[in-house]
Amino acid sequence: MCGIVGYVGRSEAAPILLDGLRRLEYRGYDSAGIAVVDGDRVETRKCAGRIVSLAKLVSAQPAAGSSGISHTRWATHGKVNDENAHPHFDARGKIALVHNGVIENYQALKKQLIQNGDTNFRSDTDTEVLAHLIGSIYDGAVAAIGDRGQPGSATPATTSQNSKARLVNAVRAALKQVIGTYGIALVHADIPDFMVGARRGSPLVLGVGKEENFLASDVSAIVAHTRDAIYLNDFDVVAVERDKFEISSLDGAAGHHAVSKVEFSTEDIKKGEYAHYMLKEIFEQPDSVRDAMRGRLTYEECTAKLGGLNMTPAELRDVSRIVLTGCGTALHAAMVGEYLIEQLANLPTEVEFASEFRHRNTPLTRDTLVFAISQSGETADTLGALRESRRKGHRTLGICNNVASTIARESDGGVYMHAGPEIGVAATKSFTSQLVILTLIGLLLGRMRNLSAAQGSRIIAALEALPGQIEEVLKLSNQIKEIAKKYADVSGMLFFGRQFNFPIALEGALKMKEITYLFAEGHPSAELKHGIIALVRPDLPSVFIAPDDTVFSKNVNNTEQVKARKGPIIAITSGNGAKQLKGLANDIIEIPAVLEPVSPVLTVVPLQLFAYHLAVELGRDVDKPRNLAKSVTVE
């Protein structure tokens, strides 16, 4: 949800900023802009559209200077146009500021500024109000004290130090008045080689280089320059110079933060031979699934080892109830998790939309364990749910991909996905990793309760077979592409599944909606006859996820009902399923036979490929679908 990159160093800032923005474009792509400090001016280039348009603008009118800030926007306040693109300026045009988040009380702050005579607003954004507020406080301080202090007492160096301190103080004072969320970076025309960053609720990382330092919404923007990163906390303010930085709190107390090593390199965030990141990430699933279980299975005891949960066996044994929460694809993983944990561990498990959970009073027992599931670890609603759960005193664990993300850091423990960077806006490999981790959790809790060693070892064998089986499914990509071409003119699509594969129907429909923009809905197969069947018609195909499992024959009944009403059917099946569906389904995709509880890890892969190939056929922008952003850091 908006990407920020800032730079102070010895190199030209503009190319570094543009390159960083390209890597953050998945966070938003409505408009983009940069501001570079050139002597005593701030040169800004910004426009509606993508980074490619901004790059053209910068190449036509270069902006020179070795410090600057930049932004790629996912619009929240104000429509998508050049004026609303970041950076935004204060009233005197001296401070340029980029922002990720929402200033909820911006209208009240704006009214107050206008009453004080500041009417020079050029955009409809909340961000511009913050820039004006910081500018008015800074200018007020400079006017009151003067930059030179007592006549004759100041050297240029102390003058510059005074300005820096005043700017940081102005940022602090302004942010204390703000209600809402922010990750910000700003520069001042009169203070070259200096930038200020701050965060509350929106991620911001400081990249520590040699005679150069960076600010970014996420490390992928800066990993080409440094792998030393400091993940800022809420209410941190950081003053950044070429060869030093100072982190403090909003109240001015000094902060101490450890430098972390970024685990991945620029190679991991390249598309390589693939046409799209989404396709690359679909094809990475044999490895990402393997990585999600690596070192986490114990064959002797037929169970899982999850040391990151930070819970003793006795504490795990005492858990009486589980809540799984998340949004979008992560919520679908949670829904599979509910079936898994209840089946394997016989523990009451519930799934809560993070956005609902955080605002309602779900009755929870003392021994309820809450899991917040999030690829990015930054989703505002999931973070809100985590905080609410912790506030109520529940032990709350994270299942995250993004190491050192806010959710990972604020949880009492958790399990990392180790899926590697996921850049495509449509989540794919993170989903299958979440499914594997939820199976491990079910296995661990199950082996402490009613799951026998033999049952545990069957689960382990099924998990270990998955990477090879996914490879088999990936070989069907061309067949699925041909099927997708056949359905390029449909008006929409329905997805059906039962039991473990009901959430996969939801996930298949979500992928289809997100990247093809086709109307798509997922339902439990049996719900068909309770109303949805009214939609069935020749131009609305139904996709049945019907592996050869305990509910296969029930699924077949439902396909008959669709067939009788002339609805086209695409079936994903396994084992003997294809034989029985022949003549019923128009198209059949056969996947390897798989143990029922882990079958979603396989059944979802053809659906990812189906949505992908159909989107390409329709000419959609697969990695950057309309109106979406990868990481939703606003409510």
Contact between 376 and ligand AGP per CB under 6 A: yes
Chain residues 289-348 in contact with ligand AGP, contact rule CB under 6 A: 327-330
Q: Out of 67, 220, 631, 633, which residue is the one contacting ligand AGP (CB under 6 A)?
A: 631
Pairing verdict, β 587-590 and 368-374: unpaired
Using the contact rule CB under 6 A, the part of the chain among 44-52, 132-140, 316-324, 425-433 near ligand AGP is: 425-433
Whether the Cβ atoms of residue 191 and residue 260 lie closer than 8 Å to each other: no
CB 282, min distance to ligand AGP, A: 12
Taking alpha carbons only, the member of 439, 437, 457 closest to residue 288 is 437
Q: Which is nearer to ligand AGP, 424 or 541 (CB)?
A: 424
Q: Which amino acid is at 270?
A: K
The yes or no reply on residue 374 touching ligand AGP (CB under 6 A) is: yes
Q: How far is the CB of 503 from ligand AGP (least distance, A)?
A: 13
CB of 390 to ligand AGP, least distance (A): 17
The conformation of residue 114, written as its DSSP 8-state character, comes to H
Measure Cα distances from 87 to 2, 71, 93, 185, 404 in Å: 12, 7, 11, 9, 27
Q: Which residues pair with 351 in a beta bridge?
A: 324
Residue count, binding to ligand AGP (CB under 6 A): 15
Contact call for residue 91 and ligand AGP (CB under 6 A) = no
Sheet holding 321-326, edge to edge: 349-353, 321-326, 368-374, 395-400, 413-416
Q: Residue 320: count other Cβ atoms within 10 Å of its Cβ.
A: 12
Name the minimum Å distance from CB 532 to ligand AGP: 22
Residues with Cβ within 8 Å of 375's Cβ and at least 6 positions away in sequence, in order, are 329, 330, 400, 401, 402, 417, 419, 422, 427, 430, 434
Nearest approach, Cβ of residue 609 and ligand AGP (Å)? 14
Copy the structure tokens of residue 320. Answer: 């009486």
Q: Under the criterion CB under 6 A, does residue 503 sit at the interface with ligand AGP?
A: no
**Nearest CB to ligand AGP, comparing residues 115 and 627:** 627
Only segment of 102-110, 141-149, 412-420, 423-431 that touches ligand AGP (CB under 6 A): 423-431
Do the bridges between strand 205-208 and strand 245-249 make them parallel or antiparallel, or are there none, so unpaired? unpaired
Token pair recorded at residue 634? 């606003």
Of 125, 303, 368, 379, which one interacts with ligand AGP (CB under 6 A)? 379
Please identify which residue in the block is written with the tokens 């099946």.
573
Is the CB of 98 or the CB of 425 nearer to ligand AGP? 425
Closest chain position to ligand AGP (CB): 328
Phi, psi of 90 (to 5 degrees): -80, 180
Q: Is 2 a catalytic residue?
A: yes
C-alpha span between 236 and 256 (Å, rounded): 10
Q: Nearer Cβ to ligand AGP, position 384 or 456?
A: 384
Q: Between 507 and 549, name the residue whose CB sits nearer to ligand AGP.
A: 507
Toward ligand AGP, which CB reaches closer, 293 or 380?
380
Joined tokens for residue 132: 């004006």
Taking CB under 6 A as the rule, which mask of x and - marks residues 381-420 in contact with ligand AGP?
-x--------------------------------------
Residue environment code for 493-510, b if the CB has 16+ CB neighbours within 10 A, otherwise e: bbbbbbbbbbbbbbbbbb
Return the number of other C-beta atoms located less than 10 Å from residue 273's C-beta: 8
Q: Considering beta carbons, is residue 220 or 631 the nearer one to ligand AGP?
A: 631
Stretch that binds ligand AGP, among 151-159, 356-364, 421-429, 488-496 (CB under 6 A): 421-429
Q: Report helix, strand or coil for 543.
A: strand
Tokens of 569: 């059917």
Cα–Cα distances (Å) from 72 to 31, 33, 427, 604, in that order, read 6, 7, 20, 31
Radius of gyration, alpha carbons of the chain: 26
Identity of the residue, 16 or 427, whose beta carbon is nearer to ligand AGP in the bound complex: 427
Smaller CB distance to ligand AGP: residue 241 or 388?
A: 388
216 binds ligand AGP (CB under 6 A): no
Write down the catalytic residue from 110, 280, 511, 630. 630
User: Among residues 118, 234, 236, 514, which is the contact residue for ligand AGP, using CB under 6 A?
Assistant: 514
Q: Rank residues 239 and 425 by Cβ distance to ligand AGP and give the closer one.
A: 425
Question: Which stretch, 120-128, 372-380, 390-398, 577-585, contacts ligand AGP (CB under 6 A)?
Answer: 372-380
- Of 427, 546, 551, 581, which one interacts with ligand AGP (CB under 6 A)? 427
| Least distance in angstroms from the C-beta of 327 to ligand AGP | 4
| Catalytic annotation, pick one of 2, 302, 327, 400 | 2
Q: Phi and psi for 484 in degrees, rounded to 5?
A: -60, -40
Q: Is 511 a catalytic residue?
A: no
CB of 102 to ligand AGP, least distance (A): 16
Distance in angstroms (rounded) separating the CA atoms of residues 153 and 140: 21
Greatest distance between any 2 Cα atoms in the chain: 95
Residue 551 identity: V
CB of 359: closest distance to ligand AGP in angstroms?
Answer: 17
Question: Got the DSSP string for 461-493?
Answer: HHHHHHHHHHHHHHTTHHHHHHHHHHTTT-SEE
Question: What residues line the site for ligand AGP (CB under 6 A)?
Answer: 327-330, 374-376, 379, 382, 425-427, 514, 631-632
Active-site residues: which are they? Answer: 2, 630
